[in-house]
C-alpha cells in the first residue's frame, strides 16, 4: 500500500547496478538508494518504500532523464512477474554490468586480482534461451489495482508465474520470451483446455484443485518434455486432459504427470508417471548424450553451457596422466565432458538420483574412466576419499549459490592439488572462498559466461594455481 505521506527523494542520479538486480544512487543526505527497474544514468524522483539508518529502498516515481542504456522491454508482463529484471537495459549494458560485478566481488570480497580477466561471453540471442520453464495453475489470478477497483467479474484462473512476494497470486501469462516455441502455445493450450474440460485450477490457500503446475523442457534437437502436476483430479480426468495435449502437440517426446497432494510443488519426492513416449529427453554435446528426466538438473541455457564447459576444460589443462576430482558433479556432465583428457575423473554429489543418472549417462557414452559417489561434500570429501582415489592433480568445483562449506575449503587446502577450477553462479560467495584459498593459491584467470540474459545472474569460472 502507498503511504499517504510518502518520502520523495528528488533528482536522484542512478550510478550503477547493485545486488539482486537493483540499481543504486545517492540521496541528498548521501545515503545509498536501492531501486529496482532503474538503469545507470537515469535521473529520477524516488519514492521511498523502506528507510534504514544508512540506506533507502524505493521505486521510480518520476523519470526525468532516461539512461542511454534504457530500452523498451520486449515483454508486456515485464515488471510484474519477476522472471526478468533487466529487460529495460540494453544487452550490451547488461553484460558490462555483470562483468563489473564479478570483478568488484573478486577484488573487494576476495581480495584477489586475476592475472587475466576474459571479456564476458554473451549469448547470441538474449531471448528464448531457457530449456526449462515451470508455470503454476491458480484460481487466484493477480489483478491490477485498476481491475480490483472496477465492478467487473474477472475470470480468476491463471497459468503463469507467482507474483513476487505474493505466494498465493499468479500472473496469467500471454507470452513469455525466455523459452522458444512451442512453449507459449503449449502453455496457452493447457490453460484453455483445462477450462474447456472444467478442471479446477489450484487454490494455494485451501490446497485444493485438479491442476497444480506445468513444466516444459526442450533440447537443442527440439525434443520436448511436458510434465503436468495434478492434485485432486480423477484418473479419468487426467487421461482425458493428457490425451487432448498429445493430440494437439503430437511431437511431444515425453508427456509425464504426477499426482501431488502435499503442501508444496517440489517434484523430488514424487512418483513421475509416463503417459506418452519416453520418460526422458536427450541433450547432446560433442557427441556425448545426456538423458534428462523430470528431476534432472541440467544447465538452464544449453548453448551457453557448452561454452562454459569449454572454458572449464581449457582452464583445467588436463593431461592423460591426471586424476581429476569433480566436486558437486550433479548429473556428471562436466566430469564426462573432460574425461577423455584424463586418466580418471571422480564425481561427488549429494543427490542419489543425480548420481544414478550420471552413471547411466556414462554407460551410454561408453566412458569407463569416471567414478561417481553419493554423499554430502562436507563429510564424504575427506582423507579416506583421497586415499581411495589417489590425490587429485586437478580439482573442478561447481558448488551451489551458497558456495563451499568451510570444511570443504579446508580439505582443498590440505589436498594441495596443483590446479583448481572454480565454477560459480554467485561470484560473491566464490570470492569469499577464493579469499580463504588465497593462502596457498594464486588466482590466474577469471572468465564470466552469461547464462541468464535479462536477469542479474551470471556464471564465473576461475583458475587457481598452487603457489
List the one residue out of 280, 278, 311 whose CA is nearest residue 398.
311
Residues 6+ apart with CB under 8 A from 103: 117, 446
Place of cell 477497483: 149
DSSP helix/strand/coil, 222: coil
Strand 116-121 versus strand 441-449 pairing type: parallel
Q: Which of 84, 176, 231, 425 is catalytic?
A: 425
What separation in angstroms does the CA of 123 have from each of 192, 308, 315, 348, 444?
A: 33, 12, 21, 30, 25
Max Cα–Cα distance, the chain, nearest Å: 74
Distance of CA 50 to the CA centre of its chain: 28
For 117, phi and psi rounded to 5 degrees? Answer: -120, 115
DSSP per-residue string spanning 6-68: --EEEEEEEEEE-GGG-EEEE-TTS-EEEETT--TT-EEEEEEEEE-SSEEEEEEEEEEE--T
DSSP helix/strand/coil, 337: helix
- Active site includes 425? yes
Place of cell 566436486: 327
Report the C-alpha gap between 431 and 434 in whole angstroms. 5
Q: Helix/strand/coil (H, E, C) string of 276-315?
A: EECCCEEEEECCEEEEECCCCCCCCCHHHHHHHHHHHHHH
Strand order in the sheet with 419-424: 116-121, 441-449, 459-466, 419-424, 394-397, 323-327, 344-349, 370-374
Strand partners, 323: 344
Strand partners, 174: none
Active site residues: 425
Amino acid at each position: 500500500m502507498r503511504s499517504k505521506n510518502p518520502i520523495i527523494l528528488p533528482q536522484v542520479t542512478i550510478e550503477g547496478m547493485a545486488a539482486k538486480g537493483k540499481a543504486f544512487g545517492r540521496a541528498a543526505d548521501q545515503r545509498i538508494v536501492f531501486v529496482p527497474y532503474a538503469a545507470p544514468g537515469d535521473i529520477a524522483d524516488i519514492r521511498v518504500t523502506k528507510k534504514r539508518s544508512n540506506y533507502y529502498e524505493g521505486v521510480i516515481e518520476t523519470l526525468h532523464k532516461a539512461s542511454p542504456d534504457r530500452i523498451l522491454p520486449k515483454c508486456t508482463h515485464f515488471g510484474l512477474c519477476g522472471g526478468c529484471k533487466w529487460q529495460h537495459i540494453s544487452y550490451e549494458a547488461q553484460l558490462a554490468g555483470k562483468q563489473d560485478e564479478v570483478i568488484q566481488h573478486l577484488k573487494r570480497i576476495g581480495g584477489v586480482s586475476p592475472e587475466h580477466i576474459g571479456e564476458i561471453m554473451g549469448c547470441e540471442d538474449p531471448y528464448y534461451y531457457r530449456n526449462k520453464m515451470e508455470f503454476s495453475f491458480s484460481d487466484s489470478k493477480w489483478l491490477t489495482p485498476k481491475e480490483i477497483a472496477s465492478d467487473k467479474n474477472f475470470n480468476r484462473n491463471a497459468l503463469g508465474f507467482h507474483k513476487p512476494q505474493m505466494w498465493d497470486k499468479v500472473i496469467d501469462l500471454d507470452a513469455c520470451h525466455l523459452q522458444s516455441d512451442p512453449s507459449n502455445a503449449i502453455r496457452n493450450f493447457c490453460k484453455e483446455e483445462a477450462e474447456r474440460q472444467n478442471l479446477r485450477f489450484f487454490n494455494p490457500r485451501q490446497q485444493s484443485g485438479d491442476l497444480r503446475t506445468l513444466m516444459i523442457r526442450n533440447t537443442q534437437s527440439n525434443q520436448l518434455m511436458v510434465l503436468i502436476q495434478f492434485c485432486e483430479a480423477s484418473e479419468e480426468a487426467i487421461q482425458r486432459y493428457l490425451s487432448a495435449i498429445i493430440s494437439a502437440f503430437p511431437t511431444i517426446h515425453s508427456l509425464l504427470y504426477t499426482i501431488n497432494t502435499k503442501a508444496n510443488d517440489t517434484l523430488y519426492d514424487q512418483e513421475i508417471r509416463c503417459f506418452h513416449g519416453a520418460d526422458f529427453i536427450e541433450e547432446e554435446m560433442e557427441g556425448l548424450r545426456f538423458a534428462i528426466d523430470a528431476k534432472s538438473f541440467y544447465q538452464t541455457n544449453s548453448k551457453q553451457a557448452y561454452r562454459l564447459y569449454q572454458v572449464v576444460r581449457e582452464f583445467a589443462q588436463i593431461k592423460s596422466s591426471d586424476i581429476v576430482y569433480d566436486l558437486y558433479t550433479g548429473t556428471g556432465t562436466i566430469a564426462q565432458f573432460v574425461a577423455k583428457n584424463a586418466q580418471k575423473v571422480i564425481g561427488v554429489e549429494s543427490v542419489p538420483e543425480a548420481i544414478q543418472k550420471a552413471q547411466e549417462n556414462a554407460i551410454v557414452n561408453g566412458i569407463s574412466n569416471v567414478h561417481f559417489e553419493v554423499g554430502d561434500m562436507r563429510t564424504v570429501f575427506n582423507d579416506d576419499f583421497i586415499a581411495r582415489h589417489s590425490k587429485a592433480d586437478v580439482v573442478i568445483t561447481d558448488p551451489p549459490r551458497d558456495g563451499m562449506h568451510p570444511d570443504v575449503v579446508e580439505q582443498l587446502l590440505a589436498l594441495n592439488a596443483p590446479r583448481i577450477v572454480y565454477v560459480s553462479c554467485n561470484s560473491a560467495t566464490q570470492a569469499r572462498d577464493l579469499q580463504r584459498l588465497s593462502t596457498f593459491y594464486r588466482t590466474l584467470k577469471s572468465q564470466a559466461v552469461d547464462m541468464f540474459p535479462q536477469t542479474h545472474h551470471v556464471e564465473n569460472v576461475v583458475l587457481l594455481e598452487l603457489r
